[in-house]
A and B are shown apart, each in its own frame.
Chain A
Amino acid sequence: MIKSYFDNMVDGIEKSLASGDASARKRYALSVARLGSRLYSGKDKVAWCGVTAPFDLLNSMGVTSCFVEFIGAMLAGMGAADPLLGKIEDAGYGPDTCAYHRAVIAAAKDGMMPVPDFLVATSAPCTGGLAVMETLAREFSRDLFVLHIPQTDDPDSVSYLADQLRELTDFVAFHTKVPFDMEKLRAASVLTNQARKLMVDAYRLAAAKPSPVAGKTLNNFGVVVALLLGTQEAVDVCRSFRDEFARKVERGEAGVPGEKLRLLWIQNRIQFKNDITDYLENEWGAVVVADELNAVTFGPIDPDDPFPGIARRSISIPLNGSVDRRLENLLSMCRDYSIDGAINPCHWGCRQGTGASAMIATGLKAAGVPVLNMDVDCIDRRNFAPGQIKTRLEAFIEMLSENKGV
């Protein structure tokens, strides 16, 4: 079912690109669909991974890899998560845990995920994810490599993780029977740096007033594009966003005509079909112009010595480390994007995210940015109460509009 979903998606997008719809979002969707298609092709070497895995390193070693939460999100987007979540609860998995993970375990048990060649777990962003990877390794009877991601960006932590990455190359080579090639990683690092630079430019353009983005333009982009790092595909996708935004900014063209309020979305988007962003845009001119996870929090990699740079990238992601660091990043986004208000969908079961929500709200409010904490489940539609969500969103936007006088 998932294989044909990706294959059909590739066909559909290729046709629409051929017929002239050359939007950057389409281009990006095509790359993601192609990746999905390769994961399910049965031809590629495949690794299921944690969110902060070094995808450029894996790509350079010829492994098609993906973090498992992507599958949870995709199932929710297809409207296929609910029955799986029900099934896994029947099997005794607690409904209080993160539904990204419950959906993945259910999909694996239901034979909806290809058996990988190996798995690479990461201790960040959450220990729940690590437990899921251990469960999957047992389910698939495949070897698991665990990357322990330190929480601070200091020389000792970076070299500790860089050493693990070097060990990972041996582990991968052992399972693929293809030796590690430093030249290939050097070339992948150059491509990562190119994509990174284009991302920085694209985000800078997205911050223009009015913003060239609509709420859905960069939906899930930052997390998912990481899967393509180290490839030309990532560079092309990032370039198409950068060019599209540059064109729009030059013409003064808004992603949403009549932009009135600029919103920051914290952590994950809601993955199943919902009309929140449309509603905000159409009814209120309120546009999600920035996502916490669409930020370049890492520096370029030294192609001649790539491991420390890759390590630093994994350490730098917003959900790793102290809440203070996360808050610092959010505050600078609020300044850069001239944010009027932030929405934090406190995802049911995410201790990592919701545990920080009070500190984040206090910190942003102290800086004059009102925050709406919404109790939602980004994957499990059964925990979604549209009427209540709408009232909270509407009241929040009324408050922002009143205070801004728009």
Chain B
Amino acid sequence: MSGYFLGIDIGSLSCDAVIIDKSGRILSASVVPTGARNREAIERATGEALRDAGLARDRLAAMISTGYGRDRVEDRTAAVTEITCHARGIFELLPDVRLLIDIGGQDSKAVALGPNGKVVDFAMNDKCAAGTGRFLEAMARALGVDITELAEMDHGATRELTLSSMCTVFAESEVVSLIAQGMPENEIVRGLNRSIASRTVSLAKRVCTDPTRSVVAMSGGVAHNKGVVRALSDFLTTPVNVPPMPDTVGAYGAALIARDRAV
């Protein structure tokens, strides 16, 4: 087996590409916004990853696509769901993890893993995008801040505020009225984080009745938001591990599956 392996994860918010060598070492990783045109995002993410790895396209031995746009990657070797890919990625990064929480742009998932890293059970959010990256994006808009700023905005907040509605549209208007009532921003952001966490925890408990007895990790773009991770950890009453570059775990898992299948 010669060559390199590409994993590409086309989510609703970002398109991630990871290139590995046959030992599984990450050569490059790129994250670009998906935007309205999937194909352009795929091209851009792949192009950036190849450039950063210093590789020509023909050095790629296999490519696995994942994410909601996985079937739109034309030159893929195969398409694999994000559940399997995230599980594979986290197993390589943190092999002791038995419960993985992934909050992506429009889906959140809880995945239970066996000791061999295989998926034992999983649960996904229902059709509503509340509690996902899209939800946070809308709330950042309501607060008039950039989504990256939300991550630390809950500092100093202590109230047990939880937003009453988990519908993205209603929650947005609730945020607006809390601002109008003079509620401090840090308390509102803490409330948002708690809302996401409470919703995600019920998903997690569907696949793992006692998370305190499991090693828990979080992947996906929302894992960059330390406030959400803190809230999740509080609700689960157990630490939540976040690997470096949590948003590329799915693409990394896809690259590893490409490599595993080629062996």
| Per-residue interface assignment for chain A, residues 118 to 135, with 1 indicating a CB less than 8 Å from any chain B CB and 0 otherwise | 000000000000000000
CB–CB A398/B119 < 8 A = yes
A399: chain B residues at CB < 8 Å are 83-84, 118-122
A32-56 Cβ-contact flags toward B at 8 Å (1 or 0): 0000000000000000000000000
CA distance A373 to B203 in the complex (A): 12
Contact with A along B122-138 (1 / 0, CB 8 A): 11101100000000000
Does B154 belong to the interface (CB within 8 Å)? no
> How long is the Cα–Cα vector from A375 to B119 in the complex, in angstroms?
21
Point out the residues of chain B lying under 8 angstroms from A385, CB to CB: 127
Closest to A396 in B: B122
Judging by beta carbons under 8 Å apart, are B127 and A387 in contact? Answer: no
C-alpha spacing A358/B81, complex, angstroms: 24
Q: Known: A375-B126, A375-B127. Is A391-B82 also a contact (CB below 8 A)?
A: yes
The reply to whether the CB of B68 lies closer than 8 angstroms to some CB of chain A is: yes
A370 and B118: CB pair below 8 A?
no
Whether B81 and A398, one on each chain, are in contact in the complex, defined by CB atoms closer than 8 angstroms, is yes
CB-nearest residue of chain B to A399: B119
Interface status of B80 (Cβ within 8 A of chain A)? yes
Q: Is the CB of A391 within 8 A of B81?
A: yes
List, in ascending order, chain B residues with CB within 8 A of A394's CB.
Answer: 81
Q: Which residues 312-358 of A have a CB within 8 angstroms of B?
A: 358
Residues of B within 8 A of A19 (CB): none
- A388 touching B84, Cβ below 8 Å: no
Interface residues as binary, A364-406 with B (CB distance below 8 Å gives 1, 0 otherwise): 0100001001010000000101011001101110110011000
A387 touches B68 (CB 8 A): yes
CA distance A365 to B118 in the complex (A): 16
Contacts of A373 in B (CB 8 A): 123
Would A403 and B118 be within 8 Å (CB), given that A391-B81, A391-B82, A398-B81 are in contact?
A: yes
Instruction: List the A residue with the shortest CB-CB distance to B71.
Output: A390
The reply to whether A395 and B81 form a contact with Cβ atoms under 8 Å apart is: yes
Q: Which residue of A lies closest to B67 (CB)?
A: A391
Q: Interface range on chain B: under 10, 10 to 19, 20 to 34, or 35 or more?
A: 10 to 19
CA gap between A123 and B123 in the complex, in Å:
33
Interface 0/1 of A211-250, CB less than 8 Å to B: 0000000000000000000000000000000000000000
Q: Are A388 and B118 in contact (CB under 8 A)?
A: no
A402 touches B126 (CB 8 A): no
What range describes how many residues of A lie at the interface?
10 to 19
A387 to B127, CA, bound (A): 10
Do residues A395 and B119 form an inter-chain contact, with CB atoms below 8 A? Answer: yes
**What's the minimum C-beta distance from B237 to chain A, rounded to whole angstroms?**
22
Question: How far is it, in angstroms, between the C-alpha of A216 and the C-alpha of B83 when the chains are bound?
Answer: 28
Give chain A nearest CB distance to B87 CB in angstroms.
9
Which single residue of chain A is at the shortest CB-CB distance from B207?
Answer: A365
Given known contacts A375-B126, A387-B68, A395 and B121 CB-to-CB distance under 8 angstroms: no
Residue of B nearest to A394 (CB): B81
C-beta contact mask, B98-132 vs A, less than 8 Å → 1, else 0? 00000000010000000000111111101100000
CA distance A373 to B80 in the complex (A): 20
Which residues from chain A contact B80 at a C-beta distance below 8 Å? Answer: 398
Residues of B near A403 (CB, < 8 A) are 118, 120
Q: Which residues of B contact A396 (CB under 8 A)?
A: 122
Q: How far is the CA of A399 from the CA of B88 in the complex (A)?
A: 12
**Is A395 a contact partner of B84 (Cβ separation < 8 A)?**
yes
Q: A370-B121, A387-B68, A391-B68 are in contact. Are A398 and B127 (CB under 8 A)?
A: no
CA distance A385 to B128 in the complex (A): 11
The answer for the CA separation of A373 and B119 in the assembled complex, in Å, is: 16
| A221 CA to B7 CA, complexed, in Å | 44
A383–B128 Cα distance when bound, in Å, is: 11
Q: With contacts A375-B127, A387-B68, A388-B127 known, is A402 near B84, CB below 8 A?
A: yes
Contact B119 A402 (CB under 8 A): yes
- Give the shortest distance, in Å, between A368 (CB) and chain B (any CB): 11
Counting chain B CB atoms within 10 Å of each CB, which of A385, A392, A395, A403 scores highest?
A395
Chain B residues, CB < 8 A from A398: 80-81, 83-84, 119
Name A361's closest neighbour in chain B (CB-CB). Answer: B206
Choose from A358, A387, A402 the contact partner of B118 (Cβ within 8 Å). Answer: A402
Measured CA separation A338–B82 after assembly (Å): 28
Chain B 59-103 interface residues, beta-carbon cutoff 8 Å to A: 68, 80-84
Known: A385-B127, A391-B68. 15 other contacts (CB 8 A): A365-B121, A375-B126, A375-B127, A383-B127, A387-B68, A391-B82, A391-B124, A392-B124, A395-B81, A395-B82, A395-B124, A398-B80, A398-B81, A398-B83, A398-B119
28 sampled A-B residue pairs with Cβ under 8 A: A358-B206, A365-B121, A370-B121, A373-B123, A375-B126, A375-B127, A383-B127, A387-B68, A388-B124, A388-B127, A391-B82, A391-B83, A395-B82, A395-B119, A395-B122, A395-B124, A398-B80, A398-B81, A398-B84, A398-B119, A399-B83, A399-B84, A399-B118, A399-B119, A399-B120, A402-B118, A402-B119, A403-B118
The 10 closest A-B pairs by CB, nearest first: A395-B83, A395-B81, A399-B119, A375-B126, A398-B84, A394-B81, A402-B118, A385-B127, A391-B81, A398-B81
